[in-house]
Structure 1
Amino acid sequence: MVESFTNRRKYVRIYRNFILLYRLKGQDSITHEMSQVNNISRGGINFSSTVTLANGSELNIELKTPFLNEKVDLEGVILECREKIVNLIYEVRVEFKNVSDQAGDVLAKIEQYAKQQGI
């Protein structure tokens, strides 16, 4: 029997909108502010962007959540950047890399909060 895609996920996917700041590694002077995080898990994040980003590019991410006073700094690599609205909106899938203990704790809190809220 073929296992469903949902059951193959290593981490619970949480569908919430958070504030996200990101920049490409090596381009510290350029920051793109995002207001739309589509979903997040301990393993990665999916967000919308107004610029296209190259697959395989590395990102520095700062995530802020409305229910935790903490912000978390994350690193990730772009798995896919797909155009959603021609020349306007792109959906970006990122896998987290080198997750610090502090970042892992915040991601676990996000997951626990979502479970408590039935999200």
Structure 2
Amino acid sequence: IQRRRSTPFAISKALSKSKPHSREIILSSSHPDNGLPTGVFGSPNSVFILDERVQLTVGLQTQERHLFLFSDMLIIAKSKSSSSLKLKKQVRLSEVWTGSCLSEVSEKKLSP
């Protein structure tokens, strides 16, 4: 039985540990919208939803990451150059939970 991991846990793990099988993703203008080939990370029926740059803070360390949301997968990547990203983590949406209690799971105090 595999326990579901929280989204903050999966993101924290992706930030703190670089896996030897991490791979570099080359973005290309030949792919529509976000430059990612359709179905490259999820199932062939996977639908691209959102591409967003974010800052993730763990303790005192803040890092920039790119989040790619698909209908079945969240992809976390790090910029290598203006045209390439390094894959840090793939998280299946079926393996995470969401909640409205960010203040309870966040390590950083958020101002109201």
Q: Same fold (TM over 0.5)?
A: no
Q: Identify the structure with bigger relative contact order (alpha carbons < 8 Å, sequence gap 6+).
A: 2
User: If the length of structure 1 is used for normalisation, what is the TM-score?
Assistant: 0.27
Q: TM-score, normalised by structure 2?
A: 0.28
